[in-house]
Amino acid sequence: MSSEETVVTSFAELGLPESLVASVKEIGYETPSPIQAASIPVLLKGDSLLGQAQTGTGKTASFALPMLARVDAKQNSPQVLVLTPTRELAIQVAEAFQRYARDIRGFHVLPIYGGHSMTLQLKQLKRGPQVIVGTPGRVMDHLRRGTLDTSTMKAVVLDEADEMLKMGFIDDVDWILGQVPQPRQVALFSATMPNEVRKVARRHLDGAQEIQIAAKTSTVDTINQRYWQVSGVNKMDALTRIMETEDFDAAIIFVRTKTATVELAEKLEARGYSASALNGDMNQALRERTVNQLKNRKLDIVIATDVAARGLDVERITHVINYDIPYDTEAYVHRIGRTGRAGRIGDAILFVTPRERGMLRAIERATRQRIERMDLPTREMVADQRVKQFKDSVVEMSTAVGADMDFFRNLIQQLTQENEMSLEDIAATLAWKVQEKRPLILPPEEERPRRERRDRDDRRDDRGERRPRRERPTDVNFVRYRIEVGRTDGLQPGDVVGAIANEAGIESKYIGNIRLYDQFSTVELPEGMPEDVLNHLQKTRVRQVAMNISVDKGPAPKDEPRGDRPRRPRNDRRGDNRGDRPRRPRGDRDSRDNRGGDRPRRPRNDG
């Protein structure tokens, strides 16, 4: 077993093709992490590997890069199977393969997991993706159906094997490995190595090289770390709210791409901030000029990629904002290390989408520090900060002006005499003119109720641009679920869509009919929803009430009102004394109580 860290200064030294080396450099990797340096050469040779390293140390690149180097893109059939414990990780790994393979023509990767349309997956499998990334349950479904061909597979990767053990998948993994014919390469990665995982390794990784990377503790004690759960308000609006209310001297904002650095810098400049991009396309002279402007207070905000920010050391940086979450924990530690220097207290803020919660947990484990969740600054907080800054600027200007003030005092006296205006009216008019472009009283659009803003923003992407309307898929089987929140709680259809889309990462087109009642509601979701997703949604709160989602096993009421239909008056003869609640036939009652049954709740004295 090898536990020594291999010192490698660049990915080019590992024997990877030039196209993959260029891809990782574009993404922001410069020096391979220890697990990458140790694993990639072994897997490039086609040998099996048992790798142990903590989550978030770059394991995905450790197997994705060598597997891509050995894939034949001209052969349209599955050659690599990657098993992951969760759908979120399956999506992340598939996206990583796609990023690394951006210059490989004809390459396709397909994530397969429960809760996603089986019909759609069958169509995509027929197109012949070279890499399959999936959860054990759905992979087993396809193997039993005969829709996933293993005859052409060269390698199997088990990612986070200890997590699959915890979730009860280890026997499924053992069965799946038995379906992939020899000879095949097997790579198993795990943060810990329980006995059950070692048993699987002994059965299927005969003669594998074992690599163990010692866990490191990353200390960032002088940095106040917080995260914002991306939800409702788009990221650009959230960023400007945070920048308005945070007391920062200088800030560096991290994004993933060069294009994003320029776009974000332009948007911040349009909002009145002194901002500039910093990316790998800039020549050395321009880069040094930007850094010097930041040091000399001619710039306050720099938007950078990981590569461009390497070695950046500016003492006045008080805030680091991870607008895009990094690909691994090492990158995160490097990023936030731009602040909190020389014993000073710094602030690090991380934007986390629902599907990125796994990386958040990995960062917490790697740094051994809890990252506190932060609330987005409210409208009142933004307005208060603007008023404070306005007052400060007026006081500062009054002490800075010279003898010319006598002229303006005389001008004000003339105005009061000629127009019968009070000094307060003149001052208020001038103050209004000064703040016209940056209102102290927020405009009506920002005054909308939070629910309405969220519904609007749910239809926009991270750039604030309207998303095209998407047709509901016709090849998805929907199942009706019941949630214990209704009209009496102030529920609207947009609340349901927002909660499920944000918390479960389900696209809105896969959220079916929503029907609202007084005490509960129903929503249609794709068949085969993962248990962990449903467990999370049970605890998710909408309108301050837990959803407690469960499969609606009762018959579908034939007179269910549409979710967006106005509430029917209580005295409407078409209903009954309980308002617009659907009638249930007398013989359709069951023995379940109001908390767990399918009928609407009714008062004890309701006859």
pLDDT in tens, 219-243: 567 789 999 988 766 888 889 888 8
Pick from 24, 109, 117, 116: nearest CA to 62: 24
State the chain's mean pLDDT as an integer: 79
| Most confident of the following: 248-262, 540-554, 569-583, 591-605 | 248-262
Q: Residue 496: what are its φ and ψ, rounded to 5°?
A: -65, -45
Q: What is the number of residues in the chain?
A: 607
Q: How confident is the model at residue 144, as a pLDDT?
A: 93
Q: Residue written as tokens 């993959």?
A: 20
Q: How confident is the model at residue 400, as a pLDDT?
A: 65
- The pLDDT of residue 339 is above 90: no
Rounded mean pLDDT, 527-552: 82
Confidence of residue 282 (pLDDT cuts 50, 70, 90): confident
Q: How confident is the model at residue 29, as a pLDDT?
A: 73
Give the whole-number percent of the chain exceeding pLDDT 70.
79
- The pLDDT of residue 401 is above 80: no
The Cα–Cα gap between 64 and 51 comes to: 14
Q: How confident is the model at residue 272, as a pLDDT?
A: 82
- The pLDDT of residue 218 is above 60: no
- The pLDDT of residue 50 is above 80: yes
Q: Residue 46: what are its φ and ψ, rounded to 5°?
A: 90, 5
Which long-range contacts (C-beta less than 8 Å, at least 24 apart) are formed by 372-378?
A: 372/225, 372/226, 372/227, 373/226, 373/227, 373/228, 373/229, 374/226, 374/227, 374/228, 374/349, 376/228, 376/233, 376/238, 376/241, 376/242, 377/241, 377/242, 377/244, 377/245
Higher pLDDT, 461 or 85: 85
At 363-386, the pLDDT tens digits run 888 788 889 999 888 777 766 777
| Most confident of the following: 177-186, 459-468, 569-578 | 177-186
The neighbour count for residue 555, using CB atoms within 10 Å, is: 10
Q: How confident is the model at residue 555, as a pLDDT?
A: 63
| Most confident of the following: 151-165, 361-375, 468-482 | 151-165
3-state secondary structure of 301: strand
Rounded mean pLDDT, 564-575: 40
- The pLDDT of residue 167 is above 70: yes
Q: How confident is the model at residue 455, as a pLDDT?
A: 39
The Cα–Cα gap between 604 and 596 comes to: 16
Q: How confident is the model at residue 593, as a pLDDT?
A: 38
Confidence of residue 156 (pLDDT cuts 50, 70, 90): very high
Rounded mean pLDDT, 460-488: 65
Rounded mean pLDDT, 205-212: 86
Question: Of the given ranges (41-45, 381-385, 386-390, 556-560), which has the lowest mean pLDDT?
Answer: 556-560
- The pLDDT of residue 492 is above 70: yes
Q: How confident is the model at residue 256, as a pLDDT?
A: 85
Whole-model pTM?
A: 0.52
The Cα–Cα gap between 378 and 156 comes to: 49
Question: Of the given ranges (125-129, 356-360, 378-382), which has the lowest mean pLDDT?
Answer: 378-382
3-state secondary structure of 1: coil
Domains, in order of start, for the chain: 11-212 (3.40.50.300), 223-377 (3.40.50.300), 468-588 (3.30.70.330)
Q: How confident is the model at residue 202, as a pLDDT?
A: 87
Rounded mean pLDDT, 522-538: 83
The Cα–Cα gap between 269 and 125 comes to: 46
The Cα–Cα gap between 110 and 95 comes to: 9
Q: How confident is the model at residue 581, as a pLDDT?
A: 41
